[in-house]
């Protein structure tokens, strides 16, 4: 079982790739803190401080500006495909036990992250869709 989502971001592949590799950019749209930059062989810790959540991310493949693949308890691959209008980003997560809740959470989470990246890279707008997905005081 796997999750696959994708979105066109109207920026060159180098810019879109860098947005996911550089935590100074990624923290503006996805996680809130990182112990370092994604690069070949790196292991970093990502934090979503608003949720008290962390993920240890071990980079397994890094081909600028085409591919980032990492393990965070499952395999995640970001593919950056040049398109006449910009870059098509596809995220695939695999290697986890089939579970409807996990599939739904990953599909929704990656979709929100891609939409927020699109807003930032195309319009310099910081959408807080990941941060505001589960606001404090609202039952889930």
Q: Is residue 61 a contact partner of residue 68, using CB atoms and an 8 Å limit? A: yes
Residue-wise pLDDT for 53-96, tens only, equals: 999 999 999 999 999 999 999 999 999 999 999 999 999 999 88
3-state secondary structure of 120: helix
Which residue's structure tokens are 């939409």? 115
Sign of CA dihedral 110, 44, 123, 85: negative
The CATH architecture that domain 2-123 belongs to is 2-Layer Sandwich (3.30)
Residue 106 backbone phi and psi in degrees, to 5: -65, -45
% of the chain residues with pLDDT over 70: 99
Q: Is residue 6 a contact partner of residue 78, using CB atoms and an 8 Å limit? A: no
pTM of the model as a whole:
0.93
% of the chain residues with pLDDT over 90: 82
Q: Give me the residue spans of the domains in the chain.
A: 2-123
Residue-wise pLDDT for 85-114, tens only, equals: 999 999 999 988 878 788 888 899 999 999
The Cα 48–Cα 114 span in angstroms is 16
Residue-wise pLDDT for 5-29, tens only, equals: 999 999 999 999 999 999 999 999 9
The per-residue pLDDT for 112 is 96
3-state secondary structure of 135: coil
Going edge to edge, which strands form the sheet with 33-34? 2-9, 86-94, 75-83, 67-71, 53-63, 43-48, 33-34
């Amino acid at each position: 079982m796997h999750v696959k989502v994708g979105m066109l971001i109207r920026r060159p592949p180098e810019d879109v790739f860098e947005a996911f590799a550089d935590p100074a950019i990624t923290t503006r749209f996805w996680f809130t803190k990182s112990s370092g930059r994604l690069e070949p062989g790196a292991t970093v810790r990502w934090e979503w401080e608003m949720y008290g959540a962390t993920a240890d991310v071990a980079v397994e493949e890094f081909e600028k500006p085409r591919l980032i693949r990492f393990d965070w308890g499952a395999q995640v691959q970001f593919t950056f495909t040049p398109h006449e209008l910009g870059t098509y980003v596809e995220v695939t997560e695999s290697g986890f036990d089939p579970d409807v809740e996990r599939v739904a959470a990953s599909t929704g989470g990656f979709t929100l992250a891609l939409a927020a990246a699109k807003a930032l890279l195309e319009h310099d707008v910081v959408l807080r869709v990941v941060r505001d997905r589960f606001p404090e005081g609202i039952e889930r």
